[in-house]
Amino acid sequence: MLSQITKRSFIRSFSTSRLVLTEGAIPKSKGSFQDKERAQENVYIKQQEAAQLKKLKEKLQQQQETIDKLETELKNHKKQE
């Protein structure tokens, strides 16, 4: 049993040292993944902002139509007096 524990700890320490040797390659992987993730987030944010802008433009157009209607009614009311 003791020999099994010793073998496991040896394997673990060996595998840990392999990670130390390849550690330099890991940041490049993370960097490209982070860049891809950031780009996807930017696309999502741009789509959300475009949708919000579209809604605001529609609301502005409705309000402008309401203002025009009220101005017309006001002019008609002044003519009647």
- For the stretch 66-80, pLDDT in tens is 999 999 999 999 888
**31-58 burial, b if ≥16 CB within 10 A, otherwise e?**
eeeeeeeeeeeeeeeeeeeeeeeeeeee
Whole-number Cα distances in Å, 45 to 30, 32, 36, 40: 22, 20, 14, 9
Report pLDDT digits (tens) over 4-16: 555 555 455 545 5
CA 70, CA 52: separation in Å to the nearest integer? Answer: 27
Query: pTM, whole model, 2 decimals?
Result: 0.52
